Structure 1
Amino acid sequence: MKSIIIKKSLAVMLGIFPSVVFALGGDLQFNGRCGPGQHFASISFVGDILIHKLLYVNVVAETKDFSQIWRGINPMFSKANFSVANLEGPAALGIDAQGRDWGDVGFIYDDKIYSGTHFSFNYHPRILSDLKHSGIDLLTLANNHILDRGWIGIDRTMTAARTVGIQVTGARHSQDRNDPFYRVVNIQGLNIAFIGCTEMTNGRPDNKAQVMNCYKSGLMDTIKTLSARSDIDAVIVYPHWGDEYQQTPNSRQVSAAKSFLEAGAVAVVGSHPHVLQPWEKYVTSDGRETFIVYSLGNFVAAQKDVERKASAVMYMGLTKPGQGKAVISGVAYTPTVRSGYKIYPVGANGDKSVLKYLGRHYGQSGLLNPEESLSLKLCRSLP
């Protein structure tokens, strides 16, 4: 188990006591309990969805249905009441890397309009309906590749998402300058606000203020405002941040995560490093139990080695005991791994290298086998 010491200057800036040492990883338990008459909601999270060229070309050659890649995980999504993912890049119909509009050229992969390589990504908008039909309810679009087709790429993605009815957070249409960067969703009677943000856009300017930045004051103000509202039961932040291929969060992530939680969020679920980073329970200064996953790594990607091929469907249970805000009743995870062109769930008797990798970050007690009941895992009853 590793620990991280917050750097003093950054901790002071974010209002966190600088001498605290935080232990990461391992088994987690929460005190929230489920009972008769209480609302209970389960939420699943996955990390980056990156359709690299190898995967994209295979989809074009076979079914022209992106879900052929992750169809084996659909039953894991259906276990939860609500499912969230990060779509890494735009889904902009007919737009090339220079922002030119070529119209509907069909479901192709040409490395010009639709690409998944050379640090430039754009997917046919069919991916949005494929994700929705698989059970994904909300996408965060705030990431370092969302401006790979410029402002028009975000506009086209937002329009396509509205057309198919999948919800998004973290970005907005250029003509909707007053639209919030968050999304409030009613899940099993609980009103939950999801906020996506990114720490960078690969140097591409956000000239039309379309993407939420994780380190601008607007995010903290939004968290505080939402958490103070009587009609919001929980706030969840989905940041895109950290150092690529590093399995330990940096001090900026650790400090910011705590500041988001102290501001009123109940959970922070990160992405971007392309590898897993640990989870953690954090008790705020006002005594709330909160949850951090620093990085869920790659959910879909064509990168090599177990660290970049394996990931998890992460689950969190929320319950509302009478008055007040929702509290966490439990967390769990089901390991996943890409083999060839497809992604599969991994149970307790599965790939030992995957289980070892996941267990190092998330312990053993939270492991949810594909055949197990999620509600029994997350919702412990009142004594």
Structure 2
Amino acid sequence: MEHDKKSFVLAEKETDHTFTKSLRPETKTIQIAAIGDLLIHDRVYNTAKTEAGYNFLPMFENVQKYLKEPAITIANQETITGGTDIGLSSYPRFNSPFELAANLQEIGVDLVTMANNHTLDRGEIAINNSIQYYEKIGMEYTGSFKNKNDQERIRVIETEEQISVAFLSYTYGTNGIAVPEGKDYLVNLIDRNQIKKDIEIAQKKADVTVVSYHFGEEYERYPNQTQKQLAQFAADLGVDVVIGHHPHVLQPMEWVEGENGDRTLVAYSLGNFLSGQDKLYRRIGGIFQFAVEKEIHQGKETIQVHSPSFLPTFVDYDLEDGRMTNFSIMPLSEVTDKQLPDSDEHFIEIDNHMKQWLPELEIIKK
């Protein structure tokens, strides 16, 4: 009988342990990264030209590890990748080679946003060429679509940690180029009714919703009233993160409180990540990163966005006979005074600029 009693006590303890374990919350966390404008001028793609085609990988060599490590990395493809068959082109109507998309995927980019003021630069053929290539290589895209059904498919990326993230993308306009009649799917314009509808669908399909806006004034280092209002609009709808593009320079980040009391993480502009522009602040961009945490407790899921960080980057290049060439993206903290006079002071200034409304933002110094 003593033996039976001991067995009973052990079984009881095991049951209590199992019950206690089931009450403990299960926590999963992923990192998401985003980069700013990929604005591929002719001087940039000419640098990438090889005998076999185009290779942009050397330009990303110094920063690619920061793009590969996160569970999801997204990029703003400012210039359509319509391929060489229709002819490459630069400002004011851009078209970039397919190899750029393949290289982005190779360095860790999982999704590109396509809604911007240059989406219609080379017409429907460039959009279709670009989308066909993205589909060929398995690169996800949003903001520009091949048809209405494609537009209605909300892009959701499911991570290995079972955290799902929806991505939406919209632009203020298309540089005066009219959207072809009956083909509104070619580019998502900023339309509050449509955005609200898309967000509501996205929130049913994913744990987290990220909205990319192409908005603001070019070269202005602070968001304007329209940007503030659109960020608030997204926050009131419960969007988790807003990522902005178009100004081509960095703008400060902040938390925006929605009408439901939740906070939305807002990056108003991530500047240029890679471009052929030569003014100082247009050469400084960065890699924005944040954590998404899912806690599961007694069948209830709680999502939290936290720990925002930012790695400032700098586009270095050489001048040969007055021409810009040999482009390379570098962590700003590694730039020397030879590449950028008073580089340390510039890093400090960017540090202060980016976190003036978000003191907890970690500015990464390699």
TM over 0.5: yes
Select which of 289, 303, 306 maps to 1:315. Answer: 289
Contact 1:335–1:354 under 8 Å retained in 2: no
2:190 corresponds to: 214
Select which of 84, 89, 103 maps to 2:79. Answer: 89
Where 2:94 maps in the other structure, the secondary structure is strand
1:169 corresponds to: 142
Distance 1:85 1:267, change over 3 A: same
1:22 corresponds to: none
Count of residues paired in the alignment? 317
Q: RMSD in angstroms over aligned alpha carbons? A: 2.1
TM-score relative to the length of structure 1: 0.78
2:19 corresponds to: none
Contact 2:25–2:295 under 8 Å retained in 1: no
Deviation at 1:261, TM superposition (A): 1.4
Q: Which stretches of structure 1, 4 residues or longer, exceed 4 Å deviation after superposition?
A: none
Deviation at 1:93, TM superposition (A): 2.8
Where 1:80 maps in the other structure, the secondary structure is coil
1:67-126 CA-to-partner distances (Å, cap 9, x unmatched) read 222221101112311100001121113454xxxxxxxxxxxxxxxx10123x11101111
2:233 corresponds to: 259
Contact 1:337–1:354 under 8 Å retained in 2: no
1:19-46 CA-to-partner distances (Å, cap 9, x unmatched) read xxxxxxxxxxxxxxxx973121100001
Where 1:292 maps in the other structure, the secondary structure is strand
Distance of 1:56 and 1:295 partners within structure 2: 24
1:329 corresponds to: 306
Where 1:121 maps in the other structure, the secondary structure is coil
1:339 corresponds to: 316
Output aligned runs, 1:1-383, within 5 Å.
37-60=26-49, 64-94=54-84, 96=86, 113-117=87-91, 119-174=92-147, 176-177=148-149, 179-180=151-152, 182-187=154-159, 188-207=161-180, 208-209=183-184, 210-227=186-203, 229=204, 231-322=205-296, 323-340=300-317, 341-347=327-333, 351-363=343-355, 366-369=361-364
Contact 1:38–1:320 under 8 Å retained in 2: yes
Larger-Rg structure: 2
1:252-291 CA-to-partner distances (Å, cap 9, x unmatched) read 1100111011112101000000111110112222221220
Contact 2:237–2:258 under 8 Å retained in 1: no
Distance 1:370 1:182, change over 3 A: farther
Where 1:114 maps in the other structure, the secondary structure is coil
The structure with higher relative contact order (CA 8 Å, sep 6+) is: 1
Q: Which amino acid is 1:366 matched to?
A: L
Identical columns (%) = 26
Q: Which amino acid is 1:186 matched to?
A: E
Q: Which amino acid is 1:277 matched to?
A: Q
TM-score relative to the length of structure 2: 0.81
For structure 2, which runs of at least 5 residues remain unmatched after alignment? 1-23, 318-326, 337-342
Contact 1:140–1:238 under 8 Å retained in 2: yes
Deviation at 1:138, TM superposition (A): 0.5
1:220-247 CA-to-partner distances (Å, cap 9, x unmatched) read 21112322x1x42111001111100011
